[in-house]
Chain A
Amino acid sequence: MDEALLRKVEGEIDNENEHTTWVEYWDGEELVHRSVHVRLKKSVFAEAIGGSFG
């Protein structure tokens, strides 16, 4: 497949949780390739608490 004949579409999400980019290649109305790169910015955490007596 000649890449030059394909339509390239790129997109991006950038918020506090992630920075995501993707690239699509379209052959007419057909999506023939879509790759995604998600960069996680913020993760989950557990809070540890020592309790009090009484």
Chain B
Amino acid sequence: MANSQAMMTSFKQDLLNGIHAFGTTVARGGTGADSFKAALYLTSASIGAATTAYSATGEVSGTGYTAGGVAVPAFAAPATSGTTAFTTPGGSIVYTTVTLTTAFDCVLIYNSTQSNKAVSSHTFGAQTVTAGTLTLTMPSNDATNGLERIA
């Protein structure tokens, strides 16, 4: 065996579990997982890597939709495969009986337990919904497709 330079795979998993803090962190209320929400954004919005927290600016509005979006089903316990750590919600994100007539193409996942801090954004083809349901089905929870991955 020889030594090698590496970012530990276990560390990547630990990050998803909120174990390490190199800077000032938050006082956590317990050891349980945080809660996450999913907000939809218009095609005219600018959600992306620079987004730090949920904002109503550019968010969709319409009948049946509450600002801030809906709860994300609980994420699977972060796991690793190869050198990648990953986690994915355990079910679909569903907006039931909504009317959203202005085109949207992005969902922001954010941490509603920790000051609405942003996690990730995911885009898709522009859509509208009329007196119907929008269902966002998650990719497979693995190192290649998982919704949140640190490789």
Please report A residues at the B interface, Cβ cutoff 8 Å.
13, 17-18, 20, 22-24, 31-50, 52
The answer to the question of B137 belonging to the interface, with a C-beta cut-off of 8 Å to chain A, is yes
Confirm or deny: B149 has a beta carbon within 8 angstroms of a beta carbon on chain A.
Answer: yes
Q: Once the chains bind, are B145 and A36 in contact (CB under 8 Å)?
A: no
Contact of A42 among B84, B125, B145 (CB under 8 A): B145
Cross-chain contact A38 with B134 (CB below 8 angstroms): yes
- We find that the number of chain B residues with CB closer than 8 angstroms to chain A is 34
B120 CB–A CB distance under 8 Å: yes
Q: B70 contacts the other chain (Cβ, under 8 Å)?
A: no
4 pairs of A and B residues whose beta carbons are closest in the complex: A35-B132, A45-B149, A34-B130, A39-B137
Contact in complex: A43, B124 (CB < 8 Å): no
Q: How far, in angstroms, from A38 to B121 measured CA to CA in the complex?
A: 14
Chain A residue at smallest Cβ distance from B104: A36
Encoded as 1 (CB less than 8 Å from any A CB) or 0, chain B from 80 to 98 comes to 0000100010000000000
B147 touches A43 (CB 8 A): yes
Q: Is the CB of A40 within 8 A of B147?
A: yes
Bound CA–CA A32/B99 (angstroms): 10
Q: Cβ of B6: which chain A residues have Cβ within 8 Å of it?
A: 50
A45 touches B133 (CB 8 A): no
Interface positions of B from 117 to 151, Cβ below 8 Å from A = 120-125, 127-139, 145-151
Complex CA–CA separation, A35 to B136 (angstroms): 11
Contacting pair B122 A33 (CB below 8 A):
no
Q: Does B26 touch A at the CB level, under 8 Å?
A: no
Contacts of B123 in A (CB 8 A): 17
Distance of A35 from chain B, by nearest CB (Å): 3
